[in-house]
Amino acid sequence: MPSLTVIYPGSFDPPTNGHLDLISRGSRLVNHLIVAILQNSQKEPLFTTEERTAMLKEITAHLPNVEIDSFNGLLVDYAARRNVNTILRGIRAVSDYETELQMALLNRRLRPETETVFLTAAAEHSFVSSRMVKEIITLGGDVASVVPEAVAQRLRSKFPPAKR
């Protein structure tokens, strides 16, 4: 069987249990999985690239074939630089499908060798998003059940109860 490397791109601001589940399940299907953090998102990120890298390294430390990297600019250009043709993305609900289809088709138009493969989110994480996690923590809620403990700790120190 040929060796398969995939890129799992995203903002990961912050990484959630849903991301970690997808990384663990994806890593069992491939030889090498590169988690690629988008640096220059239009949205002002809550965590710096360095912080997101550190969190992702910590929560995937038990997965030997997972690498954490970051990129700027177009995903297809990054994939070309890494010599990888396969992108991995997760789909939580039908609402994700439209955006994901558009991204997959655009990426293939930009670089025809690009293939996008999808894993469906585990049911227990299908309602979790980084955006909601940020909203919950800034409004004083508890995020312990939706993000890994290392991420929850960083969120708590960024938003101590007095700042919420």
- The residues annotated as belonging to the active site are 19, 43, 92, 130
- State which residue, 40 or 164, has the beta carbon closest to ligand PNS: 40
Say how far apart CA 92 and CA 125 lie, in whole Å.
8
Looking at residues 25 to 54 of the shown chain, list those that interact with ligand PNS (rule: CB under 6 A): 38
74 near ligand PNS, judged by CB under 6 A: yes
- State which residue, 27 or 107, has the beta carbon closest to ligand PNS: 107
Per-position x/- string for 75-114, each x denoting binding to ligand PNS as judged by CB under 6 A, each - no binding: x---------------------------x--xx-------
Determine the interface stretch with ligand PNS among 5-13, 21-29, 138-146, 155-163 (rule: CB under 6 A): 5-13
By beta carbon distance, the residue nearest ligand PNS is: 10
128 near ligand PNS, judged by CB under 6 A: no
Query: DSSP letter string over the chain?
Result: ----EEEEEE--SS--HHHHHHHHHHHTTSSEEEEEEESS-SS--SS-HHHHHHHHHHHTTT-TTEEEEEE-S-HHHHHHHTT--EEEEEE-SHHHHHHHHHHHHHHHHHSTT-EEEEEEPPGGGTT--HHHHHHHHHTT---TTTS-HHHHHHHHHHS-GGG-
Provide the binding-site residues for ligand PNS, judged by CB under 6 A: 9-11, 38, 74-75, 103, 106-107
